[in-house]
Structure 1
Amino acid sequence: MAERTERLMSLLPEAVGEQAVDGALITSPANRLYLTGMETSAGYVLVTRREAYFIVDFRYYEAACKQVSHCKVVEFSKIGETLKELARQEGLKGILLEYEGISLSSAQQMETIFHAAGARVVKDRTLDRLLHQMRRIKEPGELREMNTAQEITDAAFSHILAKIKEGITERELALEIEFFMRRNGAESVSFDLIVVSGKNGSLPHGVPEEKPVEKGDFITMDIGAVYHHYCSDMTRTVALGQVTDEQKQVYETVLKAQLAALAAIGPGKSCKEVDAAARDLITQAGYGRCFGHATGHSVGLEIHEEPRCGPSSPDILEPGVVMTVEPGIYLPDRFGVRIEDMVVITENGYQNFTKSSKELILL
């Protein structure tokens, strides 16, 4: 954590445009956690060129003093007064704010507070770019946590296969998966789990309903666990009973597209190139209009991070980036198929964290 705050200090630009910069204020939960190692529902991290402050209220002060040693922990009752005092103490003239992680009203509040202390805030994407740059390359410890999260997810998938039977509802399956992951070490789930069957499978982000699973249904399960704050993400589509030739064809097309994207992924490859490997194959099979989302996204403290593998992505993959690879085909009001693995880019290619079988499983 100390290395992270020190690196952010070193990355602070001298100026943005004509405005000098000598500090940054971080307010979003994921970035606070990344820089402090402590999860809180509220708080601020102020980073200057010589010091880092973790600013919390009474609820978190004692715990922060015990858990966070690389930042000066400051308790506040009125955040405006505390920030003005620190800004004057540090002689701050220009403060970077997050662009994505702060509301308009909060940005206006910070502008008023720092103006009263003789400082100006910079309202652009500079700080977001710096934090994205830091967070996109995962450290060895982060990768270990994500691998464990995926191990829990793989185990949950194996567990649920024995529970899928005619008449059980999507909601019951989603709850069983979540309970299993929590019983086996997960702090929480990475997102609201997606378990959709039959016609509901055409909804990429469908919500589990009281719909019972029926013979001939495809069942798509997009699931993930959180372990020590880090997320996993995996999707598998299975079938209950026999399926039609068309269903098998769609499944095989998605599987071939996913394998093609995996074959294309690696250091130095463009995200656009990885996306095209899957998308072109699906389009050639006649299903191009039925694949409307990106082929993948990065994962970490948040389930959706940068970069993303989409048709217009400008990013180049680097070792340490964790990506999902998840093409899909969705036939409106009929059925859908998605297959998703989570991989880390290595010096020579990639390592796949996901171990669950991708062959079509007929239950």
Structure 2
Amino acid sequence: MLKENQGLLVIKKENKFYLSNFTGSGGYLLVTSKKKYILIEGKYEKQAQEQCKEFSIVVLRDKNFLECLREICKKNDIEELIFEEDTVVYSLYKELEKLPFKLVESGNLLENQRVIKKYNEIEILKKSCDIAQKAIERALDEFTIDMNEKDLADSIERNAKKLGAEKIDFIIVASGKRGALPHGRPTDKKIELGELVTIDFGSIYKGYHSDITRTYAVGKVSLKLKEIYDIVKEAQQLGVSMIKPEMDTKEIDRVVREYIKNAGYGEYFVHGLGHGVGIEGHEKPFLNEYENNILKAGMVLTIEPGIYIPELGGVRIEDTVLVTNNGYELLTTIPKEFKEIGLC
């Protein structure tokens, strides 16, 4: 990946974790063709010893980061330093410019590498998705009509942690008219009969995210709400069915968007079709109207169309999907058939 005279400076937390397994918020990685270093403050020393087995640990005591970086680069004959242009702040960039080597933008080198998941990453992602969906299912078993959105969200979070989630990434619970908000965070609003409620949930397990959305009917709902549910479900299944190696993500987005448009609701589908899932909850590849990304086996991504009608409500259905050698594998498998909850 690197030439003999190149070094790669890594600052982005997710990329540090990807390369070294380091979960601390501070520190820097320097990767050369000969050796790998982690430069940290003393408070991270023990953590780095436990997590970064393949890295030489440099504790920043008497010298600051830039002095240590200069010395290590000189020792390894580094002439070009590759840096993460989307992460390095301007003040640090100005300091790096003073050092005696050429600065080269990474061009999202590591983000592009992270797109294809290794076997062990896929297994962790499967577990992460399983935790998220089981947490939703258990919370639905506990659901009663007197709950508000925050009550349901708390139940999901509690169950996810019981199932082994390290952290909660996000929880969206939006009911009734609030379902028209694609990112409707849970409120004190009571979840009432005759409404739809959308649950979008992501938890984190061993550093890897999950993402799943389901929309449920609270008792009987209007024919209009049932109609938009059926349209979104068919659109979502259409998108999933197109996943295979060498497929262009822009084409998947186009076909799904066209389906919803032809059903009369194109103006109410207001976001991209999906995104990659991994160490970040939203990462490459992105599925939308603007980006051409060619699917490859090992990618993990979401398909999540939605219809959001102001003053009425909304529907979103989302799965996390693995691209396989011959097609796809669903990592989230809660049934998507129209379901009424809150009934005795």
TM over 0.5: yes
Paired amino acid for 2:50: K
Match of 1:142 in 2: 121
1:6-54 residue CA offsets vs partner (Å, 9 max, x unmatched):
xxxx2x368xxxxxx6111000100000000120111111012211111
From 20, 43, 55, the equivalent of 1:59 is 43
Paired amino acid for 1:42: G
Match of 2:286 in 1: 308
Contact 1:264–1:277 under 8 Å retained in 2: no
From 278, 283, 298, the equivalent of 1:320 is 298
Contact 1:22–1:94 under 8 Å retained in 2: yes
Shift of 1:165: 2.5
Residue identity (%): 35
Shift of 1:80: 2.0
Task: Provide the rounded CA distance (Å) in 2 between the counterparts of 1:13 and 1:295.
Answer: 38
What is the alpha-carbon root mean square deviation over aligned residues?
1.4
Residue aligned with 2:204, SS: strand
* 1:233 equivalenced with 2:233 (yes/no): no
Match of 2:89 in 1: 103
Q: Structure 2, unaligned stretches of length 5 or more?
A: none
Paired amino acid for 2:39: I
Shift of 1:56: 1.2
Map 1:56-205 → 2, pairs under 5 A: 56-77=40-61, 78-112=64-98, 115=99, 118-122=100-104, 124=105, 127-189=106-168, 191-205=169-183
Task: Provide the rounded CA distance (Å) in 2 between the counterparts of 1:22 and 1:72.
Answer: 18
Contact 1:264–1:273 under 8 Å retained in 2: no
Map 1:232-271 → 2, pairs under 5 A: 232-271=210-249
Task: Provide the rounded CA distance (Å) in 1 between the counterparts of 2:143 and 2:195.
Answer: 11
Residue aligned with 2:293, SS: coil
Contact 1:165–1:240 under 8 Å retained in 2: no
Task: Provide the rounded CA distance (Å) in 2 between the counterparts of 1:309 and 1:67.
Answer: 34
Paired amino acid for 1:82: C
Match of 1:293 in 2: 271
Task: Provide the rounded CA distance (Å) in 2 between the counterparts of 1:13 and 1:322.
Answer: 30
Contact 2:172–2:185 under 8 Å retained in 1: yes
Residue aligned with 2:215, SS: strand
Paired amino acid for 2:149: E
Normalising by structure 1, report the TM-score.
0.90
Residue aligned with 2:108, SS: helix
Shift of 1:206: 1.4
Residue aligned with 1:193, SS: strand
1:95-115 residue CA offsets vs partner (Å, 9 max, x unmatched):
111022222223223333xx2
Paired amino acid for 2:101: A
Normalising by structure 2, report the TM-score.
0.95
Task: Provide the rounded CA distance (Å) in 2 between the counterparts of 1:232 and 1:224.
Answer: 5
Paired amino acid for 1:81: E
Paired amino acid for 1:39: T
Task: Provide the rounded CA distance (Å) in 2 between the counterparts of 1:107 and 1:212.
Answer: 50
Q: Structure 1, unaligned stretches of length 5 or more?
A: 1-9, 15-20
Contact 1:157–1:356 under 8 Å retained in 2: no
From 13, 30, 41, the equivalent of 2:25 is 41
1:225-252 residue CA offsets vs partner (Å, 9 max, x unmatched):
2111111100000011110000000000
Paired amino acid for 1:50: K
Task: Provide the rounded CA distance (Å) in 1 between the counterparts of 2:233 and 2:93.
Answer: 45
Residue aligned with 1:54, SS: strand
